[in-house]
Amino acid sequence: MRKRVAQLEGRLSIIALLGALLVGMLLMLYIFQVNFLTAKVYGIQDQESALEHLKEGSRALEGRHLQSLSAKHMAALALHMRFERIQEITYLRIPASTVAQTTNQ
């Protein structure tokens, strides 16, 4: 009878030890998960601040772009880019090719 009680106590102590190890491992994994999530949140915060800087830069560039494309500045822009004024435009007429021709009947 004492032998059975000793075996039962041995099994219970092994089960208790395994349970404590399992709880410890789960607690450790929980700590790692919280650490990982915290790092992700800080990463998102950095990305949001970078996005705000990009938005500000985009607004500034949009203003400059609209100024450069206004009708007042087109002549100055053309002079700056050394464009030449065209006096007359002529087009070349090329006869239709027999390779790529469609007919509608």
pLDDT averages per 10-residue partition of the chain, 105 residues:
80 92 96 92 88 90 72 77 82 66 55
Question: Helices (H), strands (E): how many in the chain?
Answer: 2, 0
Asked whether residue 88 is assigned to any structural domain, the reply reads no
Q: What is the DSSP letter of 48?
A: H
Position 79 scores a pLDDT of 82
- Mention every residue, 6+ apart, whose C-beta is less than 8 A from residue 19: none
| Contacts for 73-81: CB closer than 8 Å, 24+ residues apart | none
Domain-embedded: residue 38: yes
Query: Is 61 domain-assigned?
Result: yes
In a domain, 45, yes or no: yes
What pLDDT, on the 0 to 100 scale, is given for residue 33? Answer: 94
User: How far apart are the C-alpha atoms of 2 and 11, rounded to whole Å?
Assistant: 14
Asked whether residue 104 is assigned to any structural domain, the reply reads no
User: Can you give the pLDDT at residue 71?
Assistant: 67
pLDDT of residue 82: 87
DSSP structure class, residue 96: P
Q: Which of 46, 70, 42 is nearest to 54 (CA)?
A: 46
Within a domain: residue 74? yes
Work out how many domains the chain is built from and give that number.
1
pLDDT score for 103 = 58
pTM exceeding 0.85: no
Which range of residues forms the domain containing residue 44? 2-80
Residue 16 in domain: yes
Residue 91 lies in a domain: no
Cα distances from 105 to residues 9, 98, 102, in angstroms, run 100, 17, 10
